[in-house]
Amino acid sequence: MPETRPILREVLSVARRPRWRLVIDWVLAGAGLGIASWQLAPTLAAAPDLRTSLAQLNWFWVAVTAVLATLSLVAYGELHRRMLVTGGAHLSVPAVQAINFIGNSLAQTVPSAGSAAGAAYTVAALRFRGVDTGLSLWATTMAALFSASVLVLAGPLVLAFDGLMPFAAAVPLSVAVAVLAWALWELVQRPRTLHWIAGRTVAVARHLPVVRTASWVARQSTAAQEVSDRIARLRPNARQWWSFFAVTVLTWGADYTAVATSVAATGEHVPWPQVALGYLAVQASIGLELTPAGAGPAEAGLLAALAAGGVPGGSAAIAVVLYRVFTWLGLAAAGWIVFAVTARKRVRSEAPLPGMPGRAATGTAGTAQPAVEPPAGLQQQGGGPGGGDGGEHGGAVEGVEGEELPAEGHHQHEDEGRGHGGDQDGLPPAQRPRHQEQRPQRDQE
């Protein structure tokens, strides 16, 4: 699988951890799952009639929950696509969504380093499809930071609307978050600031065992400064910023509403204030990354919030399971399926055609091109016969797949020295058979 191997290599290099760190990661992951089971299992067991509760689920709301969970992730992928368009990269919607689903699966399943692994995959996959490194990094990082800023900005207002925080405190807090985000954006987009960040990044990377041998580190921050210059030129206009904001609100709104529809699927009344509080607890647990997708603390926090809102224990546990199955396990599984399908298609597209030894290297968009014979009369590099970087014979002809073919310019000079600069047998020198070019002059006469 030519596409997936180098991309996965970059992802694994980012997610690599020392052995002691891996032990801690897996212990935390196991502890998180244990906490989730410890909180949910007794509550489900204490339900008067669990089978009856499951049988009485409102499947319409169950389906709506699945649609909302999918819509939330699709909207996040659309945010990536629109940010790419800002930099001039026009990838297709299916291509961006495939990258988005696979990156989400990595982020939601890799312990401790999930976000880094998901971002590394996204950047590598975008670069493979022809997007430059600066724009790939900018779109991936800005999508995460912008969506997080919108959630932090809207959180106090939602809590105030639900009566859990006074508006006198919520409004100044949200305004402060907005001002801070704007100030950081104005600071980061300055070339001098970006160069300083690039230099510090390279300086730190030289001491890291995993990345210190990377080419961008060995080039003494030249590559990092090139990327920073590219990022400094990315300046979305006001209309694009509002577009980013609308898509981000759709992302969080669909995910938040999925909690409410999970409760509605159990037939219970939806306690909106507690739903908001439980949802923020889930997002905080995911952001801490102590466990994959916040497993354990997320379920415990949401279950406690719903129970405080008057939802019976059994129904609350079922609602938590529904929400997490669709927004975490279901979407993670869908991403791995997309990964497998993409890899399988890539292998099929790289299979040799009948009667052909193989295919040429993939192009910018990842589409394999059939290997062909180089056409006659290819122009040589170096600006002409005997000039430029041609060396002894005046340069080399660049063929298909980066191979170099011997130049024919020196034969033409030999013929011109003998007074035969024109056509020979109706063919130019570059297209004459080699035995014909090498015949003695007396035979040609």
Q: How far apart are CA 116 and CA 208, in angstroms?
A: 16
Please report, for residues 121, 130, 266, 336, the alpha-carbon distance to residue 79 in angstroms, rounded to integers and kept in the order given: 17, 19, 32, 21
Confidence category of residue 260, pLDDT binned at 50, 70, 90: very high
Q: How far apart are CA 128 and CA 365, in angstroms?
A: 7
Per DSSP, helices labelled H in 266-330 are 272-288, 297-308, 313-324
Mean pLDDT within 182-194? 75
Tokens 């493979």 sit on residue: 128
Q: Which of 19-23, 224-228, 326-330, 350-354 has the highest mean pLDDT?
A: 326-330
Q: How far apart are CA 382 and CA 395, in angstroms?
A: 6
pLDDT score, position 56: 82
pLDDT at residue 443 above 70? Answer: no
Tokens for 257, please give them. 């509403």
Tokens 């609350």 sit on residue: 316
Q: How far apart are CA 192 and CA 189, in angstroms?
A: 9
Position with higher pLDDT, 430 vs 66: 66
Provide the 3-class DSSP secondary structure of residue 64: helix
Q: C-alpha 371: how far from its chain's center?
A: 30
Tokens 């298609």 sit on residue: 345
Q: Which of 9-13, 237-241, 368-372, 430-434 has the highest mean pLDDT?
A: 237-241
Position with higher pLDDT, 291 vs 9: 291
Confidence category of residue 148, pLDDT binned at 50, 70, 90: very high
pLDDT score, position 329: 92
272-288 and 133-161 are packed helices; what angle lies between their axes, rounded to 10 degrees?
150
Position with higher pLDDT, 284 vs 117: 284
State the Cα torsion 430-435-437-440 to the nearest 10°.
180
pLDDT score, position 361: 42
Tokens for 349, please give them. 């597209």
Q: How far apart are CA 175 and CA 228, in angstroms?
A: 29
Which range, of 180-184, 215-219, 303-307, averages the lowest pLDDT?
A: 215-219
Closest CA to 431 of 378, 381, 392: 378
Side chain identity, residue 139: A
Q: C-alpha 127: how far from its chain's center?
A: 10
Q: Which of 30-39, 78-87, 338-347 has the highest mean pLDDT?
A: 78-87
pLDDT score, position 165: 87
Position with higher pLDDT, 361 vs 138: 138
pLDDT score, position 42: 62
